[in-house]
């Protein structure tokens, strides 16, 4: 696995950024760079499962290992899901994907909040993250600063 990092400075409170990030309607807006109709099913609760998906493409299931509101989220991907929401844990892509970790940390100072994204994944997924995260973070910043 490789580790990749992304960050952005947002001129808003971490509480507002958090709410913008996880509210279903704004979530759909800022994650578009990853998938046009991306959304989630589940609750942002520590120990719970959440499914990130595009109804036209499928998606991924993750275990929320840490959910510390306004501070920290750590999600570990545990399966792929198809358009019918059936889980898949077998095959080359699933085997490379399972175990991917996404971590979100909020650092507040007098100038706003720095949102840090740390991803541990198979090198095969680096291009997807490198293409998606910079654009997604710009959109999240815009929504949070409105």
Residue recorded with tokens 């509101």: 69
Domains of the chain (ranges plus CATH)?
A: 2-145 (3.30.530.20)
The per-residue pLDDT for range 38-97, each reduced to its tens digit, is: 999 999 999 999 999 999 999 999 999 999 999 999 999 999 999 998 999 999 999 999
pTM: 0.91
Q: What is the pLDDT of residues 92-124, one digit of tens each?
A: 999 999 999 999 999 998 888 999 999 999 999
Q: Note the pLDDT of residue 109.
A: 87
pLDDT at position 43, please? 94
pLDDT in tens, 24-47: 999 999 999 999 999 999 999 999
d(CA 119, CA 131): 14
Q: How much is the pLDDT for 111?
A: 84
CA-closest candidate to residue 74, choices 53, 108, 46, 33: 46
Looking at residue 4, what is its pLDDT?
Answer: 97
Burial, 14: exposed, middle or buried (Cβ in 10 Å; 0-12, 13-18, 19+)? buried
Distance CA 98, CA 139 (A): 27
- Please, are residues 8 and 138 in contact by the beta-carbon 8 Å criterion? yes
- Give the SS3 label for residue 125: helix
């Amino acid at each position: 696995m490789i580790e990749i990092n992304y960050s952005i400075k947002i001129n808003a409170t971490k509480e507002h950024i958090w709410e913008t990030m996880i509210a279903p309607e704004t979530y759909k807006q800022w994650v578009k760079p990853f998938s046009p109709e991306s959304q989630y099913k589940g609750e942002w609760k520590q120990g719970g499962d959440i499914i990130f998906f595009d109804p036209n493409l499928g998606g991924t299931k993750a275990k929320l290992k840490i959910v510390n509101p306004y501070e920290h989220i750590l999600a570990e991907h545990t399966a792929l899901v198809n358009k019918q929401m059936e889980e898949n844990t077998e095959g080359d892509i699933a085997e490379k994907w399972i175990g991917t970790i996404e971590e979100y940390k909020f650092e507040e100072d007098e100038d706003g909040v720095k949102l840090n994204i740390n991803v541990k994944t198979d090198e095969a997924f680096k291009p997807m993250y490198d293409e998606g995260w910079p654009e997604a973070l710009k959109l999240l910043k815009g929504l949070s600063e409105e």
